[in-house]
Amino acid sequence: MLNLNKGFHVPQAKRLDESYELQENSICANVSADKIFDLITGFIATRNEPLFFILELPVAVTEEQKFELRPHVLANTHHDVYFIDGLTVEEALIIVIRYRDLLFEDGMISWGIGCHESQTEIMRRSYNLVTLYSQTIIDCEFLFEKLAIPQVEKLITAYDLFTTKEPGEKTSISFSGKTVYDLPEMLKDFGIYLAQQNVPD
């Protein structure tokens, strides 16, 4: 069974298993709340090149209103995409550890760590879904094996279970009076910048 972080609710969540699917240049995985931190910090610790941090944050309601087709009707929702470039392994670990509660428990954001040179990238997405991209993806399987996350031929994700009557739910989480909307300010000393505004996948 897959244990979800606080910001997510999935109808029929008991049908989800912790596991990963290997594809040509990627791994897609359901990772339980008690293992996802170890997976991402384990990935960071194995890197030997400059890293970047990516944060996809839903735009504020007042900003989203600019995209309305007509009052209260949206074609899509939008995200602000932030980056921090040129991080060392130590700096990346500091960010993930220091802001662990918001980064892992909040249901509204996606975020990840990537490598400038090899282009390898791990992303924590919604509903405890983790994606990992690499030109040498076989070399990344040990991260999942180390945490006893089994490989499957076909991964069933939360998105496979959603219906119009039973959609998934995402919730914003507050810790010590801070939310994910405070992250850009809290990360300004690391050089965070707004790169673009897009429609999420």
User: For position 67, what pLDDT does the model report?
Assistant: 46
Dihedral pair phi/psi, residue 182, rounded to 5°: -90, -10
Q: Looking at residue 59, what is its pLDDT?
A: 79
Q: How many domains does the chain have?
A: 1
pLDDT at 73: 38
- 1 within a domain of the structure (yes/no): no
Provide the pLDDT for residue 76: 46
| pLDDT score of 199 | 58
2 found inside a domain = no
Distance in angstroms (rounded) separating the CA atoms of residues 108 and 32 = 17
Tell me the three-class secondary structure of 80-132, residue by residue.
EEEEEEEECHHHHHHHHHHCHHHHHHCCCCEEEEEECCCCCEEEECHHHEEEE
**Inside any domain, residue 41:** yes
Residue 126 belongs to some domain of the structure: yes
Q: What is the pLDDT of residue 78?
A: 74
17 within some domain: yes
33: part of which helix (H) or strand (E)?
helix 33-45
Cross-strand pairs, 194: 82
Predicted confidence at residue 42, as pLDDT, reads 97
Q: How many residues does the chain have?
A: 201
Q: Is residue 172 included in any domain, yes or no?
A: yes
Residue ranges in the chain modelled with pLDDT below 70: 60-77, 198-201
pLDDT (0 to 100) of residue 63? 53
Which residue range(s) make up the domain with 141?
A: 8-198
